[in-house]
Structure 1
């Protein structure tokens, strides 16, 4: 396997690099899977595939009449062979592509903003550097990643390019052809993570407050600990939310979370975050050892391995006692709080000016 000097230097920094990729294409890194989960029987896999293929062939009917069935099957996990097509439909990307059949090609033919293009070029080699698709600059992975990010920056110049978008685009390219990945990426950035990548990160700040409110409800001990040590949510949740967990979770867990995320939206990322925080800080002895901000952040940024395991995350996000109304209540509360803060700031500014 030929690699560029940059790739060799990068890989040499990791002590767990193998000469052969795992079944997902990873030569190393924390997302390499050494011991894959015990697979389903061949009969079970075929049965699930048939159900999904039938559902996709009748997608409009299921979405309008039986969305709960789609959601429940996503929670069980989408079969690997069907996942690319399922994600394409779940995200609504198939409608975007159908409506804009020539747009992706046209975007690639445009030069784009020179400053943005330069930023994309600087960043593309940093995404999943241990994956076979992205080892070299001249490999198809980095080329297609550049194309998708460039095309989006032209498609939505209001956002342009944000570094946190790159791992999402790379992740999608591991599963979908470039044009299909582009349209799923558009849907994720413009719908699922709407306004997350705009300068100022106002939406993310609002969601940080929502996360804090939900944590108070789901795990009071962890909430009180974070309050005591003044650990602001943005210090630990920014990467989780902006990158939609692509740089946080082990590979098999990440796939299952995205199955749910594309079916249920941003609430899934909230739930995963709540499970990680709660499971990491729920024990008194752990909180006692984390006697400050830095120690607490270390635990949240490097949770215990079992906390990030596929079954633990998926089972616990489904067990969380949270209704859609709980999210709506917290959203309204944060919206009102920020409006009040803004009014106070404007009043103070007016007083100063007079």
Structure 2
């Protein structure tokens, strides 16, 4: 594993390097923050042409597509509404953990438009900015990417544009044209209707030519099948994992099908490498890393979980495997992903620590033990965190204020990796010794 890969796995900032292109037959993966030439699309592309392919996915159907326009005149929906809200959800926004009616004064409107302009200027010189001004990119991601710009920014941050190559290469179409493993395809079909209550994936009644009512196929359903199938073709060793479906669906809500595929590929093969492999050893390793980081930031919670034998794999698996898509309120999730695609998996560690601390909020071990006397109460709190507590600004602020350094992540990653290697070596030695003893005890033939 390269130095940059080790740093990314440990949660450190991965400084970008100039990446080379690829041919259609071999898919290469960039580091979490990669350097992509803006000229790959069009040397003279302006803001509007760059956003043409992305805007319709993220502006809630509003004409101008700016963050301000998407907040004005929205039908926010209700608990029983069949009208999609500004994010496309039916029946109200996902988890409804944030205000529906944020007010914007003229100064805020001006600031939003100015931020959109700055982001487009930064993307125009993406290669230069990722090489020379990475800290500026990181700072703007931490402040939150404007909604109109977010799909394009995510695509560039994760290296989707580099992986995608030129639009006429046809690589994605080639993956789709292959048959695929029947087992994976069957699993994908089983999971496809278990995703978000979002207009992209739900059938809507329309008037038929005969005057009756019929279901209109949801626009995102086939695209979701395509993305998951294509990934199983590109990476047959991993194939398909159920946790990939919500991530793919989440990406489809923000960008076109092919762009979403390459972003999914980058996330699965670079950011969360090893998470979806048989045995899920990497998720277990990261669970141990998380647990020891918890000891540093909240020793009283660490003590409670240790006493109750609450293993991290019991509560953090869905958080990491599904990239928090099924855990956080929508606006909080978007902000966490803004940082994750820029800084790497260390953001998920920090988000997990924040969720743990907010789910078990007592300040002392004695109070924790009284409030959560058994493993049952503790796991209930961790697996079902209060959505009202996970408000966007609070979570982001706590993530940024956690007293953890890059060195903390690197040290804990190295320590846990070495610990696992020693444990595996002991098992191998014990098995070898047992085999030798068994051979020695066999009576010679008569």
Tell me the TM-score normalized by structure 1. 0.92
RMSD over aligned CA atoms reads 1.6
**What aligned pairs does 1:182-197 form with structure 2 within 5 A after superposition?**
182-197=261-276
Indicate how the Cα distance of structure 1 residues 340 and 99 shifts in structure 2: closer, same or farther if over 3 A, else same: farther
Whole-angstrom distance in 1 between the partners of 2:100 and 2:126? 31
Residue correspondence of structure 1 range 105-184 to structure 2 within 5 A: 105-128=173-196, 130-136=197-203, 138-184=217-263
Contact preservation (8 Å) 2:301, 2:368: no
Are the structure 2 counterparts of residues 238 and 32 from structure 1 closer, same or farther at C-alpha, using a change threshold of 3 Å?
closer
Deviation, 1:32, is: 5.2
Distance 1:297 1:259, change over 3 A: same
TM-score (norm 2): 0.74
Cα distance between partner residues in 2 of 1:252 and 1:264: 19
Structure 2 CA distance for aligned equivalents of residues 289 and 170 of structure 1: 37
Conserved in 1, the CA contact under 8 Å of 2:85 and 2:93? no
Paired with 1:299 and 1:62, the residues of 2 have a C-alpha distance of 42
Structure 2 equivalent of residue 94 of structure 1: 161
Query: Are 1:206 and 1:335, in contact at CA under 8 Å, matched by a contact in 2?
Result: yes
Residue 100 of structure 2 is aligned to residue 36 of structure 1: yes
The correspondence of residues 1-354 of structure 1 with structure 2, limited to 5 A, is: 16-28=79-91, 31=94, 33=96, 35-36=99-100, 38=102, 40=104, 41-98=108-165, 101-128=169-196, 130-136=197-203, 138-283=217-362, 284=364, 285-354=367-436
Q: Greater CA deviation, 31-40 or 134-143?
A: 31-40
Query: 281-290 or 52-61, which moves further after superposition?
Result: 281-290
Between structure 1 and structure 2, the one with the greater Rg is 2
Change (3 A) 1:171 1:154: same
Aligned positions, number: 339
> 1:209 and 1:118, CA in 2 relative to 1: closer, same or farther beyond 3 A?
same
Give the superposition deviation at 1:83: 0.5
Query: SS at 1:162's partner residue?
Result: coil
Structure 2: 5+ residue stretches without partners: 1-77, 204-215, 437-446
Distance of 1:30 and 1:290 partners within structure 2: 31
Q: Is the 8 A contact 1:90 1:263 kept in 2?
A: yes
Relative to structure 1, the CA distance from residue 176 to residue 123 in structure 2 (aligned partners, 3 Å threshold; closer, same or farther) is: same
Preserved contact between residue 328 and residue 387 of structure 2 (Cα < 8 Å): no
More helix by share: 1
In 2, Cα distance between equivalents of 1:28 and 1:243? 23
Cα distance in 1 for partners of 2:313, 2:259 equals: 32
Mapped contact 2:83–2:91 kept (Cα < 8 A): no
Q: Any unmatched runs of 5+ in structure 1?
A: 1-14
CA distance in 2, matches of 1:117, 1:349: 38
